Amino acid sequence: MHTFFFYRKQLPLAFLIAALFMLPALNTTAQDYPEDDNNYESEPSRQTSQQKEDRQEKSSPDKPQQDKDFFNWNDAFVGGSFGAQFGSVVFVNASPNFGYYFTDNIVGGIGATYMFLHDKRLANNLKMHVYGGRLFGRYHIIEGLFAHAEYEVLRQQVVLEDVNVTTNQERDGVTVPSLLLGAGYSQSLGGRSSFNIMILFNVLESDNSLYSNPIFRVGFNIGL
């Protein structure tokens, strides 16, 4: 009984002495960690964040990529067909065009046409002026072979010169549409330049049509 009472009185004193020795150690351990838990970040977490930043910098180029130009002069070309004949029958034909390669297979363009015919063999000395415009498209099926479609509107103006009088008789002009469909062969001359041969059919042929089926056409393209 007396022994237990002695130990009960001595235990608080022992705990107090032990606590005094432990306080410096607890204070040192607490200083090793930041007071703000929100700002604390482990070493693996810092490495992961740095890796994310490096990936973002690599995926973001220094300069924004520029869009491809809608129109490129390297894909454009000019050309057409030209011809002339002189003598008792004078015939001049000028049909320039401007085209563009929208893709390597699809080509589209516009063109103009002017024709002059003077037949001196007739008593009334016939003269005819023809002018107009057209739209055309081509699809290159394989290398060298293409399909061609063209819509053309021409205006014909006829003048009859009477050799016995000083006045001329001018007939009313006639507007003639034509839809030409066919195929052609293209011989490349380098770049967008080529030499073309086509066979076409006018599906809107009429009595006033200038073309009689089939229509053979030879022309050229010069790349810009």
Across 52-56, 117-121, 162-166, 191-195, least confident range: 162-166
Query: What is the pLDDT, as a whole number, of residue 203?
Result: 95
- How confident is the model at residue 12, as a pLDDT? 52
d(CA 154, CA 132): 4
Q: How far apart are CA 34 and CA 44, in angstroms?
A: 17
**Average per-residue pLDDT for the chain:** 77
Cα separation, 12 vs 15, whole angstroms = 5
The helices-and-strands tally (H runs, E runs) of the chain is 2, 9
Q: Which residue has the higher pLDDT, 98 or 164?
A: 98
Give the pLDDT score at 145: 96
Cα Rg of the chain, angstroms: 46
pLDDT at 112 (0 to 100): 96
How much is the pLDDT for 113? Answer: 94
Range of weakest confidence among 29-38, 92-101, 197-206? 29-38
Q: 4 falls in which pLDDT band (50, 70, 90)?
A: very low
Mean pLDDT for 65-88 is: 81
Q: Residues of 78-117 as b/e, b for ≥16 C-beta within 10 angstroms? A: bbbbeeeeeeeeeeebebebebbbeeeeebebebebebeb
Is the peptide bond prior to 214 cis by the omega test (within 30 degrees of 0)? Answer: yes
Q: How many C-beta atoms surround the C-beta of residue 152 within 10 A?
A: 21
Q: Which CA distances in Å does 207 have to 129, 147, 178, 210, 211?
A: 17, 27, 12, 9, 10
The band of 151, judged by pLDDT with boundaries at 50, 70 and 90, is very high
User: Looking at per-residue confidence, does 121 or 100 come out higher?
Assistant: 100
Distance in angstroms (rounded) separating the CA atoms of residues 171 and 159: 6
What b-and-e string marks burial along 7-29, b requiring 16 or more CB atoms within 10 Å of the CB? eeeeeeeeeeeeeeeeeeeeeee
- What is the band of 85 on the pLDDT scale with cuts at 50, 70, 90? confident
**pLDDT for the residue numbered 140:** 95
Identify the structural domains of the chain with CATH numbers, from first to last.
75-223 (2.40.160.20)
DSSP track, 92-123: EEEEEEEEEESSSSEEEEEEEEEEEEEETTST
Average pLDDT in the 203-210 region?
Answer: 88
Element (H, E) at 6: helix 2-31
